[in-house]
């Protein structure tokens, strides 16, 4: 049985084509599924993809740029 690997903030940012700052902001304000391991945030890409599919990355905040064009 293969276990899905844990990935970093940088990996999630690349996967979603956004800035790392957006990933940190989504953890804090939009409940992006993340797990703190020591000082580092770790993710399962399947959880991140599910979160995106249900609209987790949608912006309700006009000040939230979503990281587009950054990176």
Residue range 57-67: average pLDDT?
57
Predicted pLDDT at 62: 42
pLDDT at 68 over 90: no
Is pLDDT above 80 for 32?
Answer: yes
SS3 string, 48-65, reads HHHHHHCCCCCCCCCCCC
Mean pLDDT for the stretch of residues 40-60: 92
- pTM equals 0.78
Angle between the 9-16 and 20-29 helix axes, to the nearest 10 degrees? 100
State yes or no: pLDDT of 20 exceeds 60.
yes
């Amino acid at each position: 049985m293969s276990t899905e690997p844990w990935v970093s903030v940088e990996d999630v940012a690349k996967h979603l084509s956004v800035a790392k700052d957006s990933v940190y902001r989504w953890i804090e304000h939009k409940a992006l599924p993340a797990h703190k391991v020591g000082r580092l945030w770790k993710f399962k890409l399947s959880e991140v993809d599910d979160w995106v599919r249900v609209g987790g990355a949608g912006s309700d905040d006009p000040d939230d740029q979503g990281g587009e064009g950054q990176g």
